[in-house]
Structure 1
Amino acid sequence: MKTIKLLTTLALTVILGFTSCQSEENTELGTNPNANSSTSPTATNFERASMNDGSEDDFLDGSACTELLFPLSATINGKNITLLSKLDFSAALNILGEFNDDDDTVAFNFPINVRLSNYTEVVVNSQSELDALKSDCESAEAQGKDAISCIDFKFPITMLTYNINLEQTGSVVIQSEKQLYTFMTDLNSDKLFTVNYPISATLSNGTEIQINSDAELQDSISDCVQFEDEKDEAEKMALEVEAILTNTKFKVESFIDAGVNTASDYVNWSIEFTNDLKLVAKNTVNATLGEIEGTYEVSSETDVFLNINFGSNNTVSALNNDWIVSAYSDTLVTLKSKTDASVTLTFKKL
C-alpha cells in the first residue's frame, strides 16, 4: 500500500506541475523539472557529458573525438615507438618534449583502430581518413555538439520514465557513461524522463559536488566548461611564453623582494633558456666565474607558470621559484611568486 500511495503522490505531483504547461509546445518540456524531452537542455547535457572522451591522447592524434585503441605503432619525430597501453604515453611524451623549438611530427602506421564519441569503433586506414574524423570533430565543437569532458558522474543514476501524458512508465538504473549516452540517444519524441536527484559528480578541477536539480546540473556544467576554456587559453599562452624564452638570453631587469629591488646583484649576468629546458647563467664581465646551469619548465593551469631551478648556494639560486607569468611581450617576461605576490622578477631580452 505504501508503494501504491507513493506512486500516486508522485503522479499527482507531476501532473499538477505540468498543468500550467499543457498549452505550450513540446519544446518547452525541457524547462519543466519534472519532465525532460529528448531535446531538452538536460538531455543534451547528459548526452554530451556521457560521450566517449578521446582527449587524453590529443597530443598524438589532435582530436578529442577519437580515442586511439591499442596496440598501435607510430613514428614520432623520426623515432619508431609501439604503444601497448596508456602507460606508453610517457615514452611518446618524452620524445615530443625533448626539444621545445622543433616541429613535432607523428606518423601512425596504418591501419589503426579508434573509438568515436558515440562509442563506435572504426578502422582508420590512412592519415586522410583520420583528418576527416578530426574535421568532423571540429564541426561538432563549433556547433556545441562535442563531448563535455569536465564532469564525471558517479553511478548508479536512476532515471524515471514517462509517456507524453506524464504517466510514469518505469525507471532505469544506469551504471556507466556508455549506458547513460545510450539512454539519452535512444529517447523518442514521445518519451520523457526525470532524474532521481541528488546525484554526485567530480569536476575536472578535482571538486566533488552533489547535484540536486536540472538547474544545478546546468550551472555545474557551465562552470566547468568555463574552467576548461580558461585552461585552454592558459595553455596557448604557455606556448607563447616558451617560444619567447627558448634559445634566448635575458638579463634581470627587476627583482623585488620585501620591497627591495636587487637587480643590481645580477647586472653582470646573462640568463639563457636553451631549447632542451636547460638554463645557463654566465657572468658577462668575469669569464673565470664559469657558468651556472639549471633547469626550467613552462606549464599552465588557468595561469601560466615558469619553474626556475639553479640549485642551491650559488650566485643566482635566489631566482629559484615557482613563478606565475603575470605579463609578457617579445622582450619582457614579468613574473610573480606563486606563494607571495609581492615577490616579482622581470627578465629583459638581451
Structure 2
Amino acid sequence: MIKIIKNIGIQWMVIQVVFLLISCQEEERELIDPTIDDTITQDSTLAGLMKNVVTHDGSFDDLVDKGNCYSINFPYFILHNGNLKEITHTADYAEILDSDTIQIQFPVTVTTYEYKEEFIETSTELNALASSCLSDDEDIECIDFVYPFNLSTFNANTNLLNTIEVLHDAQVYKFMDEMDDQTVMSINYPIQLVLHNGDHTTSGHNEQLVATILDFIESCNEND
C-alpha cells in the first residue's frame, strides 16, 4: 500500500511539473503572439524606427573625414595645421576648427553606419566612401536607448522562443538587420531612452515608444 501511495505521489509531481512547463511556454508564446499590439515584426514602423535610432552615427568626426555615414576608429594620427596630432577620443575634435588644415595619416580603419569595419589605405578610398554617404540620412541622432534591456523573440519556422539581453546599439542593429519575416519580437517593457539634452524618458508599450521617437525626430540634426 505504501508503495502504491509513493507511486501516485510521484506521478502527481510529474503531472504538476509538466503542467508548469506547458504554462510557462504558453506565457512566452502570449508575450510574442503576433496578434498582440506589443509584437514587433520586420516591416513594422517601430522596427524601422529602432534601426534608425541604433544606426552608427559617424557625424561627430566630419571635420576630419568629411563623411557622416562612417567614423574613423581610434587611435589614429592627423597633421593638424602641419603638426602631428594623435586622435584618441571624441574630445580631441573640440580642438579642430573648420578653417584648419587637416591631413589624415593613412592607413586607418573606419566603422560604417551598419557597424562594419573597413581598412582604408588612401585619401582616394576615403573620398569614395564619403561620396556614398547621403546628406539627408535616416539615422536618428537625438535619442538613444538606455541599456541593458531584453528582447523576446519567436521564430515561426523553428518554433523557438528566445530572450536576448541587449547591451549596445551595434547588437540591436545586427538583430534588426538580420530579422526575417518569420521572426517576431517584443520588448520587455518598461524601456528608458535618453535625449540629446540628457533628459530621460520611459516607454511602457509599443505605441508609446513609437510616439516618443517620432516626437523627437524633428529636433534631430547632424552633429547634435
TM-score over 0.5 for the alignment?
A: yes
Q: Secondary structure of the residue that 1:161 maps to in structure 2?
A: strand
Q: Secondary structure of the residue that 2:141 maps to in structure 1?
A: coil
Q: How far apart are the structure 2 equivalents of 1:201 and 1:50?
A: 12
Change (3 A) 1:65 1:87: closer
Q: Secondary structure of the residue that 2:192 maps to in structure 1?
A: strand
Preserved contact between residue 54 and residue 63 of structure 1 (Cα < 8 Å)? yes
Is residue 108 of structure 2 the alignment partner of residue 117 of structure 1? no
1:5 corresponds to: 23
Which of 39, 44, 57 aligns to 2:43? It is: 39
Structure number with higher relative contact order (C-alpha < 8 Å, ≥ 6 residues apart): 2
Give matches, 1:218-229, under 5 Å: 218-229=210-221
Is residue 92 of structure 2 the alignment partner of residue 89 of structure 1? yes
Any idea what the Cα deviations from partners look like across 1:130-189, whole Å, max 9, x if unmatched? 222222221671xx3xx3222221222211112348x66222221222211111112122
Change (3 A) 1:58 1:189: same
Which of 60, 65, 72 aligns to 1:68? It is: 72
Any idea what the Cα deviations from partners look like across 1:59-113, whole Å, max 9, x if unmatched? 222322212123322233x3223224116615742xx27xxxxx44322122222
Give matches, 1:10-29, under 5 Å: 11=29, 18=35
When Rg is computed on C-alpha atoms for both structures, the one with the higher figure is 1
What amino acid is the match of 2:111?
Answer: R
Runs of 4+ in 1 over 4 A off after TM superposition: 1-4, 12-15
What amino acid is the match of 1:5?
Answer: S
Q: How far apart are the structure 2 equivalents of 1:121 and 1:14?
A: 34
Which of 189, 192, 202 aligns to 2:184? It is: 192
Q: How far apart are the structure 1 equivalents of 2:74 and 2:32?
A: 48
Q: How far apart are the structure 2 equivalents of 1:184 and 1:55?
A: 22
Change (3 A) 1:130 1:10: same
- How many residue pairs align between the two structures? 205
Structural RMSD (CA):
2.9
Calculate the TM-score normalised by the size of structure 2: 0.77
Calculate the TM-score normalised by the size of structure 1: 0.51
Q: How far apart are the structure 2 equivalents of 1:218 and 1:156?
A: 19
Q: Determine what percentage of the aligned residue pairs are the same residue.
A: 25
Superposition deviation, residue 202 in structure 1: 0.4
Q: Secondary structure of the residue that 2:152 maps to in structure 1?
A: strand
Give matches, 1:1-350, under 5 Å: 4-5=22-23, 7-9=25-27, 11=29, 18=35, 33-76=37-80, 78-86=81-89, 89=92, 92-93=95-96, 96=97, 103-138=99-134, 141=137, 144=138, 147-164=139-156, 169-229=161-221
Change (3 A) 1:110 1:33: same
Superposition deviation, residue 41 in structure 1: 1.7
Superposition deviation, residue 210 in structure 1: 0.5
What amino acid is the match of 1:134?
Answer: A
Q: How far apart are the structure 1 equivalents of 2:173 and 2:31?
A: 28
Superposition deviation, residue 4 in structure 1: 4.4
Superposition deviation, residue 12 in structure 1: 5.1
Mean Cα deviation higher: 1-10 or 185-194:
1-10
Preserved contact between residue 81 and residue 92 of structure 1 (Cα < 8 Å)? no
Preserved contact between residue 59 and residue 68 of structure 2 (Cα < 8 Å)? yes
User: Normalized per residue, which structure has more strand?
Assistant: 1
Preserved contact between residue 160 and residue 168 of structure 1 (Cα < 8 Å)? no
Preserved contact between residue 37 and residue 191 of structure 1 (Cα < 8 Å)? yes
Q: How far apart are the structure 2 equivalents of 1:89 and 1:9?
A: 50
Q: Secondary structure of the residue that 1:138 maps to in structure 2?
A: coil
Q: Secondary structure of the residue that 1:180 maps to in structure 2?
A: helix
Any idea what the Cα deviations from partners look like across 1:257-297, whole Å, max 9, x if unmatched? xxxxxxxxxxxxxxxxxxxxxxxxxxxxxxxxxxxxxxxxx
What amino acid is the match of 1:209?
Answer: T
